[in-house]
Chain A
Amino acid sequence: NAGVMQNPRHLVRRRGQEARLRCSPMKGHSHVYWYRQLPEEGLKFMVYLQKENIIDESGMPKERFSAEFPKEGPSILRIQQVVRGDSAAYFCASSPADSGANVLTFGAGSRLTVL
């Protein structure tokens, strides 16, 4: 059981480039969440997805950010035209469907640095 797998672990981009972060949920989990963490801060919710559906994207900036969780393959968080303020750790978490209590299993995170 490999847990939640995120890649890349570290990503460096120049301003204006695109960043793609991938997340494979834990086996048997169908709910995926993305959170952003700035240095020395807590986690900020970005988006909640189920297979092929965005359930809640209330925490995601309206521009430049998008997320998907296709029927096959990992969930992807995409940031277009990155700016320095996008530098952060992006964590993916997953949970099983209808788990009752919403306990999340987190990946190790993807650390984005924008030069």
Chain B
Amino acid sequence: SQQGEEDPQALSIQEGENATMNCSYKTSINNLQWYRQNSGRGLVHLILIRSNEREKHSGRLRVTLDTSKKSSSLLITASRAADTASYFCATDPFGGNEKLTFGTGTRLTIIP
């Protein structure tokens, strides 16, 4: 399996519910980032969590990082129809080779 795998691959929830996506990775990291991609568009950076952080918040987003398990989760609270998109985690590896490795993504559908 590849560095950065999201789980589940697809998720459909009712508007107003919370959505949780998980990401697992393999190597040591400097930081882990989450990006969103709307259909037919480029990726947009959402949030970054450093390797020495365990939790971070930004608006309705909450990210956790467990370096011992090499995993992260993204929680979107009070989902909206506009949150419908694909969500990718990306790892910035320790050692500074300066390229992000992206996971396979979770396709989130918010049902109005």
Binds B, one of A12-20, A41-49, A69-77, A80-88: A41-49
A contact face: mostly helix, strand, loop, or mixed: strand
Chain B interface residue count, Cβ-Cβ cutoff 8 angstroms: 25
Cα A43 to Cα B30 in complex, Å, equals 20
Cα A12 to Cα B35 in complex, Å, equals 28
Name A3's closest neighbour in chain B (CB-CB).
Answer: B42
Cα A41 to Cα B103 in complex, Å, equals 9
Size bracket of the A interface: 20 to 34
Are B43 and A102 touching (Cβ within 8 A)?
no
Residues of B within 8 A of A (CB): 2, 4, 30-31, 33, 35, 41-45, 48, 50, 88, 90, 92, 97-105
Residues of A within 8 A of B (CB): 4, 31, 33, 35, 41-45, 48, 55-56, 91, 93, 101-109
